[in-house]
Amino acid sequence: MPEHVAVIMDGNGRWAKKRFLPRVAGHVKGVELVREMVRACLERGIGYLTLFAFSSENWRRPADEVSVLMQLFVKALQQEVKKLQENGVRLRVVGDLNRFDPGLQQLIADAEALTAGNTRLNLTIAANYGGRWDIMQAVNKMALAHPEKVGTWDESDLAPWLSMHFAPEPDLFIRTGGEERMSNFLLWQLAYAELYFTPTLWPDFDTSEFDKAIASYAQRERRFGRTSEQLVDSPNA
């Protein structure tokens, strides 16, 4: 089992289009699948689930679609937080939250505070998130914290400032919807993740599809630069 699964939930618009529905109908259905995915992670004992909900580039979409996505986000927070709390799920939202309206920012802060004591599943929503933004905001904070080390900063100096500092690096990365690209998701943290791409559209990505991704992950040999023989000789070295 992977400990940390990171997902680009893509294909909502195409799912709706295939059914002659407006794109937003795909987003509504997509929220249901998030619920199913959270349940599946709880059942499988997966400790971290990170979902890309809105990229820093998604502001470029038509204003009415952006507005519906924001409303869905608000509604989901209002409706689901209690259930997350009951199930021991800790919710975090990562990304540049300043761009969201103050009401939404408050909902996020409240949900994070309410669930802060939970440890069963760490659910992280990446919203107005960009991998390059994340690295740059971390670099700036690191520079302010340790100006004396300029020229000698290393990876461990940066790590605590990255938005996902609380989580181990993702083991399994999933992108639904057929596209095989990162779209500026967790660039730093995915350095050694196993990548899984599926043409299945996000609203169709049910538990059995998730299990296929996990099965594919279980087949992989994670060498982290070593040779296959080294792993057989001393698997934990």
Name the residue nearer to ligand IPE (CB basis): 179 or 211: 179
User: Per the structure block, which two tokens stand in for 213?
Assistant: 């991704």
Site residues (vs ligand IPE, CB under 6 A): 8-14, 52-55, 58, 69, 177, 179, 181, 183
Q: Give a three-class secondary structure readout of the chain.
A: CCCEEEEECCCHHHHHHHCCCCHHHHHHHHHHHHHHHHHHHHHHCCCEEEEEEEECCHHHCCHHHHHHHHHHHHHHHHHHHHHHHHCCEEEEEECCHHHCCHHHHHHHHHHHHHCCCCCCEEEEEEEEECHHHHHHHHHHHHHHHCHHHCCCCCHHHHHHHCCCCCCCCCCEEEECCCCCCCCCCCCCCCCCCEEEECCCCHHHCCHHHHHHHHHHHHHCCCCCCCCHHHHHHCCCC
| Active-site position among 12, 58, 64, 140 | 58
> Smallest gap, in angstroms, from Cβ of residue 30 to Mg ion?
11
> Smallest gap, in angstroms, from Cβ of residue 154 to ligand IPE?
30
Among Mg ion, ligand IPE, none, partner that 12 touches (CB below 5 to 8 angstroms by kind)? ligand IPE
> Smallest gap, in angstroms, from Cβ of residue 129 to ligand IPE?
8
Site residues (vs Mg ion, CB under 5 A): 10
Name the residue nearer to Mg ion (CB basis): 2 or 95: 95
Among ligand IPE, Mg ion, none, partner that 35 touches (CB below 5 to 8 angstroms by kind)? none
Name the residue nearer to ligand IPE (CB basis): 165 or 181: 181
User: Per the structure block, which two tokens stand in for 46?
Assistant: 């997966």
CA atoms within 13 A on the CB side of 207: 9
> Smallest gap, in angstroms, from Cβ of residue 96 to ligand IPE?
14
| Active-site position among 10, 122, 128, 171 | 10
Among ligand IPE, Mg ion, none, partner that 52 touches (CB below 5 to 8 angstroms by kind)? ligand IPE
Among Mg ion, ligand IPE, none, partner that 69 touches (CB below 5 to 8 angstroms by kind)? ligand IPE
User: Per the structure block, which two tokens stand in for 198?
Assistant: 């599926």
Among ligand IPE, Mg ion, none, partner that 37 touches (CB below 5 to 8 angstroms by kind)? none
- CA 6 to chain CA centroid, Å, is 5
Could you confirm whether 96 is annotated as catalytic? no
Name the residue nearer to ligand IPE (CB basis): 96 or 157: 96
Could you confirm whether 58 is annotated as catalytic? yes
Residues with catalytic function = 10, 58
